[in-house]
Amino acid sequence: MSPADAGSLDPARTVVVATGNAHKLIEIEAILSRSLGGMRFVALSELGDYPDPVEDGDTFFDNALIKARAALDETGLSMAVADDSGLCVDALDGAPGIFSARWAGEHGNDDANNDKLLRELDGVPVERRGARFHSSVVLVVRDEDGEETIAGEGDCEGRIGFERRGGNGFGYDPLFELADVPGRTMAELSPEEKNAISHRFHALQDLAAKL
């Protein structure tokens, strides 16, 4: 993604997306631009090297809101979108939940997180391995009258397998067997297939319907 100058952007026609992931920017713009016509979507990483905010919320919504507000604070723009997501396993009372990315201790260590998940579910039969990915997407709009927050929520249902399968995706994708695509894990889908059924897709659709 090429750098952009926040000072040259029209705050009334710009949405900053709190991400450095070009694929996520494209996915968010593709869905929300239908409801936010004429808006330019820019990734936060295009506008500068900003520190990550402390995500100390109690829910996915809380952490998405923290990231969206931080993006507005850092750029001075008036509209921001952020998402937060994770894996919720029934047999683990919803864990790892909001701690999904750092469940094993080191943020973003996918191998360690998946190893821990398999250990925690050791001996748990297939019928009790139900799980879902959940996403909260938040749009925050600021003007002279204050702040408005609109949120969308989405899930992708499935269960946790007994071994990793597939080389695509990231995180817990190799262990997540999809309810909508029986016999395949999230990591066995192409990016296009994943985006069409993912928890973020459903959350974005929910948000777009409220705009």
The catalytic residues are: 84
Q: Which two tokens stand for residue 26?
A: 């494209």
Picking from 96, 170, 87, the residue whose alpha carbon sits closest to that of residue 133 is: 87
Give 171-176 contacts, CB < 8 A, sequence gap 24+: 171/87, 171/100, 171/101, 171/110, 171/113, 172/87, 172/100, 172/110, 172/113, 172/114, 172/117, 172/133, 174/114, 175/114, 175/117, 175/118, 176/87, 176/131, 176/133
Q: Residue 50 carries which DSSP code? A: P
CB-CB contact of 47 with 6 (8 Å): yes
**Tokens 């990315």 belong to which residue?**
101
